[in-house]
Amino acid sequence: MTTPPPRGCGSIHADYFLLCDMDQAWGIVLESLAAAGVLVTVFLICSLFFLICKIQDNSKRHMVSIYFFFLLGTLGIFGITFAFIIKSNDRIRPTRFFLFGVLFALCFSCLLTHASNLVRLVRGKKPFSWPVLLLIIVSFALVQVVINIEYLVTMLVKGRSTFLNMGSEEANKDFVMLLIYVLFLMALTFLVSMFTFCGPYKSWKRHGAHIFVTVLFSIAIWVVWITMLTRGNESLGKTNWDDPVVAIALVSNGWIFLIMYIIPEICFLTAPLKLGDYPPENDFCQPTFIKQATGVDNHAYTQDETVQGDREGTSYSPYSAHLQMKTLDAKNDFSIPRAKAHPSPYHDYTGGKGPM
């Protein structure tokens, strides 16, 4: 005897009733928010590619790779929300266990990489190149991938029926244990983001504030949903609330990522540079200080570079012959004398006879 579909659903499988059940509206609300998040994320990815050519600073341009992978992780978070609205079965459960931790590890790896790069930028140091940023992101995210693969392989080797039919309490504990590394990334990112406030360049501190607030709200969301999943639902007698709690956490955290981090970051991506807020781009290529080499100066060259004044009536010039010239007296006449004719003895002769 088949169960009649609830109000709002047609002839679909019973596992998908929560996607259209009008009586349990939480599924419809969450899938609507998740679908809106998917559309906004896709729009931001397209905007990111469009704005690349308008970025003025190379330090900001290197961040595009971080934003791209972060948006991919956020897109996956909104997508996996549907896996928690659909009733758990032998196909959905492995997807939940694997993708949940990997997607959040990717997002927090991007935030940690960005915060580490900002720690250098706020102090006026040279940032990491984009290949180094990509390497850091992939390295951090791959750790969670390895952890999840090992867990799934171990459980499937023990027996598929054991993995798929284990009790709700045991499954919840295993689910949280798989996320210890993600919690470590979250705590480390929160710690590193606080160091971005120490530096002379205020505009880079604004980017650090986006990361700090995003991780702070994420920590609050994770504390609430882990508490409800492990103890709260059981104490309230609402064991069927496990999937809604995780789905609400996914949608909430996804929108926190968009509103608190990625949308402000993209808005400041093409903002005009203000003098003094960001270090000049060519400052990274110029030496800031050259230590003077110690040694004995050659005084023979130093003497030539020093112009001395007149000393004791002598004048010295560094580019003239080293001969001391005595100052001449202006009163003496050093002109060349000209020859003069002697007077003739007949000068006064009148033609008369002299005295006898």
Kindly report, residue by residue over 237-269, the tens digit of the pLDDT.
776 788 889 999 999 999 999 999 999 999 888
Residues 71 and 45: beta-carbon distance below 8 Å: yes
- Centroid of chain to Cα 84: 33
The rounded radius of gyration (Å) of the Cα atoms in the chain is 44
Strand partners, 275: 278
Helix (H, G, I), strand (E, B) or coil at 276: coil
Q: How many helices (H) and strands (E) in the chain?
A: 13, 0
* pLDDT of 271 above 80: no
> Residue 337 has what pLDDT?
65
* Distance, CA of 304 to chain centre: 53
Domains of the chain: 17-271 (1.20.1070.10)
Query: Which stretches of 86-129 are DSSP H helices?
Result: 92-121
What's the pLDDT tens digit per position in 180-235? 999 999 999 999 999 988 877 777 888 899 999 999 999 999 999 999 888 877 77
Query: Which two structure tokens, joined as six digits, stand for 66?
Result: 């971080």
Nearest Cα neighbor of 15 from 92, 127, 75 is 92
pLDDT of 321 strictly over 60: no
Token pair for residue 70? 């972060």
pLDDT score for 346: 58
User: What pTM does this model have?
Assistant: 0.74
Would you say 216 and 190 are in contact if contact means Cβ atoms under 8 Å apart? Answer: yes
DSSP 8-state symbol, 311: B
